[in-house]
Chain A
Amino acid sequence: MAVDEGLKIELGKQGIFVTTIEELYNWGRRSSIWPMQFGLACCAIEMIATTMARYDLARFGAEVFRPSPRQADMMIISGTVTKKMAPQVVRLYNQMAEPKYVIAMGACAISGGPFKQGYNVLKGIDRYIPVDVHIPGCPPRPEALIHAFMTLQKKIDGQHLTGEGRPRHLDANAPGEFPVPVQGEHDLEPESNGLVWPLPAVKTGT
């Protein structure tokens, strides 16, 4: 199906450019990822710095931070997700248009970070929504966010439009709705979404 890479380069030298619909489609998708304007904690400051002139996220086609989830393709979970905030994050993710991607930025967003033993911080947003790229760091430098962004672009580039591993929006069976947790008596209920977090809950204190 795909043209051999060597042949492609040879043809390119002769002025003939060969591509596939899939490549064009993915090129368009990865070059116009619009993040949602959404900052949670101190990582958001680094995220803002990334978009400014010095680090210039606009080079990757992602400078248009949208103030509404309806127009956004990517959610950057930039900081600590408290248990009070988690339902809102999941609801916003649900309201985004397909295909949507998530970057969990910083130690808190991926695992709870320094607040992991705390009573009110979610131990990683990937318990409720599918995360595409995790960035460690407290907070991660703008270069790290740009690296995560390039990683996401590589992932989008590598997605085939048919068969296994195709993007969610082309897969009729892929879930579109992720249940929003509610505040229970002691914790969020449910504690995690089994679809994206298959690990069993760790029992402590028994």
Chain B
Amino acid sequence: MNKLHKLLVVILSSIALLISAASTAFAKVEGDTIILGAAVSLTGKYAGSGKHTQKGYDLGAKIINDKGGVKVGGKKYKIAIKYYDDESDGAKAAALAQRLIEQDGIQYLLGPYGSGITIAMAPVSEKYGVPMVEANGASRALFTKGYKYLFAVLNSADQYLNSAVDLMAAKKKNATVAMAFEQDSFSLDVKLGVMERIKAHKMKVVIDDALPKELNDMTSTLQKVKALKPDLLIVSGHDKGAMTGIKQITDLKVDVPMIAMTHCDSAAINKNLGGGGDYTLCAAQWHKSLSYKDKFFGSGMDYAKTFETEYQYDPPYQAAESSAALLVYKAAFEKANSFDKDKVRDAIAKTDMKTFYGPIKFSETGQNLAKPMVLFQVINGENKVVAPEKWAEAKLIYPTPKWADRK
């Protein structure tokens, strides 16, 4: 009889737990608060950028609430965000998306950090017809599946370093290229974009290395670079790749005329590496010196100042694009003048706005085609935009001075 007893206890307690979990369910709107849901990486290997994302979302919500909130049906509403930690794990993120939608009753999602995780979550929001405005998943694969409920404010990954390759082509014909990419969705997508430009300019790839995922050592790649002397070195491996790359380039005194990377500012290479980051070209979705502005955050510089006051560090673009996602939602709610998720979705699809982050206008596939990627160069510890020409605030320094010639 006691086995039955024990099992009954287990089953009953599980039901109890389920009920308790359900009773904390959030409806889409509670009182005067609209609740958005998000799974971000608060732990695990993407935790650094996941935190930038979360802070960007929080700041976006805060500023919107401070400036009068969202007006729907003549009434003012505040925005709140319910977070879960996906632990940098795609499978978990998908389960959390399910949980947000089914158990917590969330009707509007904000995207996670990272292409791989967004790719895992998108099928879920699509299946339930819940709009997701994401700000940190750049892989092209997200936009070719015919998703109707996914909207990305950022440029796709394949565009990140194309302008660096183009710049190289403009400086030297038939240049040689060395690359090191981490083996994840985002970095490989950057690689695809880069390879297309390399082929178009008839450049030659002399080194094509995969960055080891765990151990943070690029020595073998860099020694090969020293031996083969390519004209352009491209590194894409999230924050860790950027930091390891610069540190080891400094330690080994590797001379390459042009170095281009992703994730420079989330790794803060301009500040943390004692000048080693200088002359590196960095792909950025946004930079505070660009002259975009809007009436919530002001200009890019205003945003940076607000962010810094709130969180005591300079906002990388991951944070800026996350804040921009909130602006999209606010505009959509007001345009739809409703909380119905499909009406909101349609309103998002019609977004055409200018923000401090840049212009946002979604294509049929949910991509933001209105905003260009920028390239900045670290000059004397400062990030200065050098491409596209229209927005450049400094001239590209090429070639990178040799280590022997630097002070």
A and B physically associate: no
